[in-house]
Amino acid sequence: MTYISKPKFQHPQLQANNIGLTRRDYEGTLTTLCGGCGHDSISAAIIQAAADMSLEPHRVAKLSGIGCSSKIPSYFLGKAHAFNAVHGRMPSVATGANLANKELYYLGISGDGDSASIGLGQFCHIVRRRINMLYIVANNGTYGLTKGQLSATADLGSKTKSGEESLYDNIDMATLAIELGASFVARSFSGDKQQLVPLIQAGLSHKGFAFIDVVSPCVTFNNTDASTHGYKNTWENNVALSQVDFVPMRKEITTSYDAGKEKEITLHDGSVIHLHKTGSNYDPYDQENALHHINQHKKQGRIATGLLYINQSTSDLHELTDTVDKPFNALTEHDLCPGDEVLMDINETFR
Amino acid sequence: MNNPASAKVEAITRINDFVVKFANVNGSGSASANNMFAKAVFRMGIPVSPHNIFPSNIQGLPTWYEVRINEQGYLGRREGVDLMVAMNEQTIAKDIAAVVPGGYVLYDSSKPLPEDLFRDDIQYLPIPLKDICISEFDKPPQRQLFKNIIYVGALAALLNIDFEVLTGLVSDQFRGKEKLILPNIHALELGHQFAMDDFDCPLKLQLKSSDKNDNKILMDGNAAVGLGCVYGGATVASWYPLTPSTSVVDAFGKYCKRLRIDPGSGKQKFSVVQAEDELAAIGIAIGAGWNGARAFTASSGPGISLMQEFLGLAYFSEVPVVLFNIQRVGPSTGMPTRTQQGDLLSCAYASHGDTKHILLFPATPKECFEYAIDAFDLADRLQTPVIVMSDLELGMNEQICDPLRWDEDRSYDRGKVLDAKQLEEIEKFGRYNDVDDDGIPYRTYPGTHPNKGSYFTRGSSHDAYAAYTEDGDVYAEVMDRIAKKFRTALNYLPEPEIDNSGNNLGLLYTGTTTSAIQEARDLLARQGVEVDTLRVRAFPLHDSIKAFIDGHDRVYVIDQNRDAQLKSLLKIELNVNEEQVESILSYNGVLITAQHIERAILTSMESQTAADKVES
């Protein structure tokens, strides 16, 4: 893999968003992943999501671990700082970064190896710490970079290209996140941009820990008919809860929805998520029902997608620990150093 | 038999120069009573150094508190015990055996002492502590706790401690819990009265008020580190509990709650995160450092081992982070509550590949405070991890030192960080460009500028613009530039402390070994052996260390570890000639003594002379 910069020309008719930026301003370098990789669709969805909601690219900090998934922060939001941490340890770096400056958007990108195996502990604890960020797992059930070993999210009985069968039960990242207290949990499919883009927008706008498990097929090592993470199985067994629309805070709501057929969720920043019902009367605020729903579908070999759970009444780590409004990285010695006179008093306590 | 006058060896007669050791059962409440004794000596103006020798246990195992009192100011440990306060039945035989001839044993005579524990060369001071407690106090917990206070009261009479100093200490200790003051003073009086009635007080071993501690403080290194982090501007502390480093973060949190609350909003200008393990602890600190906050973690051997991968990332991607290593005895779990300088090599080159880290070696609580502050400046200036190498001895024991000071003219050195305006003036920002030819590149915080200054931080090979590369030449250029940065680092690191009077022999040491050096020199001088000294205070090593070694026929390198790690660093970094350096090693888990150093040098010189004779 080498670093490939993208040519800097753009279509003259590319539309500018509310802050005068075009889609090109949200792109990164050219991908070095395999042609057809699900992860590239995630990059494209992030670009579209950020552009459409007029996010300032440099106000985002991108964090990732190690693996194919963790490479993708190169391919979107080139004007944002990025941190490629060590394998499985992005959550701790994201925690520290978030503590240092509460004013940025934090976007974590990880994979199933990175978050469900080597970094499972860190994943669990960042959920518990309620860091205000969007955490995406590009989940393909396999280790791509090391040529196709099974990962911990591979379903029991799922087979890789080489025919290796998963002998163990899988770890379901979405149920895990719900159980540990994540306040926004969704599942989507890299091939379903219509669903994924608004979920990413909603996840970025959500205040608290937002998690999206994105089934993202590995075309090279885990896209066989016998794999539950391949395109075929995911298309056939994807059961979307609802069609999702996201209306960013700045945008006026121009489309009129039939109130009887949809659920409206207003996020803390004023953005609105519209969930268009596809039949069932699903309550995304019901934690136990969300777990039940996912497990019921799993038993039938189906993948429940959509916004599975949301809780808007939790506090993030900054609120829990009551930190000052000014970002820590903007505090100076004037704010932080108690001075010599105070030290003289402290010396007295050691006499 | 119990009469002190019956001993065959005359009692030691000494003023302000002896060792009192307390042998207790862990969890019996002895720590605060023993500490009261040490602090009383301190307040009498007499140099004193307490050493806690405690178990990895909450309740039941033996624990000792050794107090060295020395008018001349020797604050290291001294071998032998002059007065043993033997309060632990499990260890009493060994404890009595450790008393030097002519010394004393104070013990609880509520139960008779077995006949075989009577020596005829020491004095016995029997006090029926348990019986006194039962008759004076109703509640079992009080009976247990006040037993300790009663023996302190007895020691006041026996050793001639100013009783008002003790009552003053009780008042200070229980400020806010006033109803505890009177019962404690009553307990002190009970012990005092008993000793006055039953023994010839004071003993020939006694204290006399002095003026040696004017303006000094008595503080433990970990509290000083925690306070240093407050003064140094740390806002993020991430950690995982681990003895003996725990009290660093405890102290930081305690001082922050007093000194780092925003007066207007009442909100916190700090965050302490107890992480799930040490990997996350250092990861959090690195994430915060990357994003422009001053962050640290504190740990010890096992935790440091877990942090290796992240330390390599911070080294190669050049992220500032401060790590306090309060060293304990390894390898593996080792002896968690004993001291060692065992992590010199594993910290100097922590992580795989070619790495190197800045190390600072404090020797006193004052230096713990100052190096903590310096560590944040150094990490920001050099954009790399800085590891402050304390140890259990320094971290968890109180030591006399000069008072802490903050220079009001000092401002934080945040290093080479570009703001939006500076970025505007730059045509193309390169995160790892050696613009100033000192090996230190410029960095930016996330979110600084809409179009300029963003970069990709990674542990994979990168070029001067932070882009991924597998071009071996470009990789080598970056590695060479980082090596250059570490040469630049020498301009910022504390220089070695050298006392060179042109003697043939030198002593080279670091950290807590310092406490034994002046005494060792004086002991050797009495044998006609004069030595020069060099104290290493930072790594990478200054050239003056090589010059010092080259300028002496023989340099004894003192290591508190088995494998001569400090000596190894000298050989690796300074190409020191093996013939010129000889190791003095101590690795039994307690602080090295001046006597140990003296013996090692005299033995070495004898064998040298013998070898010379054979040759000639």
What is the distance between the alpha carbons of residues A123 and A172, in angstroms, rounded to a whole number?
A: 12
Beta-bridge partners for B509:
B535
Q: Contact, A306 vs A195, CB < 8 A?
A: yes
Domain extent, residue A273, equals: 23-323
Contact between chains at A61 and B446 (C-beta distance less than 8 A)? yes
Supply the pLDDT for residue B58.
Answer: 86
Q: What is the mean pLDDT of chain B?
A: 96
Beta-bridge partners for A317:
none
Domain regions of chain B by residue span: 4-206, 219-401, 416-494, 497-615
A73 in contact with B, Cβ within 8 Å: yes
Name the residue with tokens 């911990």.
A152
A85 in contact with B, Cβ within 8 Å: yes
Mean pLDDT of B185-195: 97
Higher pLDDT: A267 or B258? It is: B258
Mean pLDDT of B369-382: 98
Whether the predicted pLDDT of A258 surpasses 60: no
Mean pLDDT of A296-306: 91
Q: Contact, B422 vs B467, CB < 8 A?
A: no
CA angle B265, B269, B271 (to 5 degrees): 125
How is residue B417 written in tokens?
Answer: 């960080």
Supply the pLDDT for residue A253.
Answer: 44
Supply the pLDDT for residue B206.
Answer: 97
Q: Is B266 left (phi over 0), alpha (psi -120 to 50) or beta?
A: left
Whether the predicted pLDDT of B502 surpasses 70: yes
Please report how the helices A120-129 and A90-100 are oriented relative to each other, as an axis angle in degrees rounded to 10. Answer: 30
Whether the predicted pLDDT of B2 surpasses 50: no
Give the CATH number, domain containing residue A139.
Answer: 3.40.50.970
What 3-state class would DSSP assign to B170?
Answer: helix
Higher pLDDT: B406 or B145? It is: B406
In a mutational test of the B interface, the residue from A83, A129, A321 whose CB has the highest number of chain B CBs within 10 Å is: A83
Mean pLDDT of B381-402: 98
Phi, psi at A27, each rounded to 5°: -85, 170
Q: Is residue A286, in this structure, part of any structural domain at all?
A: yes
Mean pLDDT of B477-492: 98
Q: Which of A188-197, B175-184, B478-487 has the highest mean pLDDT?
A: B478-487
CA distances from A65 to A70, A137, A248 (A): 5, 11, 29
In a mutational test of the B interface, the residue from A84, A328, A331, A344 whose CB has the highest number of chain B CBs within 10 Å is: A328
B289 in contact with A, Cβ within 8 Å: yes
Supply the pLDDT for residue B59.
Answer: 87
What is the distance between the alpha carbons of residues B568 and B341, in angstroms, rounded to a whole number?
A: 13
Residues 98 through 117 of chain A touching chain B, CB cutoff 8 Å: 98-101, 103-104
Which band of pLDDT confidence, cut at 50, 70 and 90, is reported for residue A345?
A: very high
CA distances from A93 to A106, A320, B140, B291, B330 (A): 11, 19, 50, 10, 28
Supply the pLDDT for residue A279.
Answer: 54
Q: Is B497-615 a CATH 3.30.379.10 domain? A: no
Nearest C-alpha in A relative to B41: A351
Supply the pLDDT for residue A7.
Answer: 64
B291 in contact with A, Cβ within 8 Å: yes
Contacts with A22 from chain B: Cβ below 8 Å: none
**In this predicted model, what pLDDT tens digit does every residue of B426-476 receive, in sequence order?**
999 999 999 999 999 999 999 999 999 999 999 999 999 999 999 999 999
Neighbours of B587 (CB within 10 A): 17
Q: Is residue A328, in this structure, part of any structural domain at all?
A: no
Cis peptide bond upstream of B112, omega within 30: no
pTM of the model: 0.96
B41 in contact with A, Cβ within 8 Å: no
Q: What percent of chain B has a predicted confidence (pLDDT) above 90?
A: 93
Q: Is residue A350, in this structure, part of any structural domain at all?
A: no
State the sign of the Cα–Cα–Cα–Cα dihedral B344, B345, B351, B356. Answer: positive
What 3-state class would DSSP assign to A255?
Answer: coil
Higher pLDDT: B112 or A242? It is: B112
B399 in contact with A, Cβ within 8 Å: no
The C-alpha R_g of chain A, in whole angstroms, comes to 21
Dihedral of CA atoms B4, B8, B12, B18 in degrees, nearest 10, equals: -80
Supply the pLDDT for residue A277.
Answer: 58
Q: What is the mean pLDDT of chain A?
A: 91
Q: Is residue A329, in this structure, part of any structural domain at all?
A: no
CATH class of B4-206: alpha beta
Supply the pLDDT for residue A228.
Answer: 87
B136-153 in b/e form (b: 16+ CB < 10 A) is ebeeeeebbbbbbbbbbb
Mean pLDDT of A124-131: 98
Q: Is B219-401 a CATH 3.40.190.100 domain? A: no
Same fold, B4-206 and B497-615: no
Query: Nearest Cα to A135, choosing from A97, A195, A87, A90?
Result: A90
Number of domains composing chain A: 1
Q: Is residue A349, in this structure, part of any structural domain at all?
A: no
Contacts with B467 from chain A: Cβ below 8 Å: 3
Supply the pLDDT for residue B609.
Answer: 87
**In this predicted model, what pLDDT tens digit does every residue of A97-106 receive, in sequence order?**
999 999 999 9
Supply the pLDDT for residue A226.
Answer: 85
Contacts with A91 from chain B: Cβ below 8 Å: 280, 283
In a mutational test of the B interface, the residue from A329, A333, A342 whose CB has the highest number of chain B CBs within 10 Å is: A329
Supply the pLDDT for residue A173.
Answer: 97
CA distances from A30 to A9, A37, A40, A73, B46 (A): 14, 13, 10, 11, 72
A325 in contact with B, Cβ within 8 Å: yes
- Roughly how many angstroms between the first and final C-alpha of chain B, as a whole number? 59
**In this predicted model, what pLDDT tens digit does every residue of B260-310 receive, in sequence order?**
999 999 999 999 999 999 999 999 999 999 999 999 999 999 999 999 999
Contacts with B259 from chain A: Cβ below 8 Å: 338, 342
Whether the predicted pLDDT of B7 surpasses 70: no
A83 in contact with B, Cβ within 8 Å: yes
Indicate the residue of A91, A322, A338 with minimum beta-carbon distance to B231. Answer: A338
Mean pLDDT of A236-256: 72
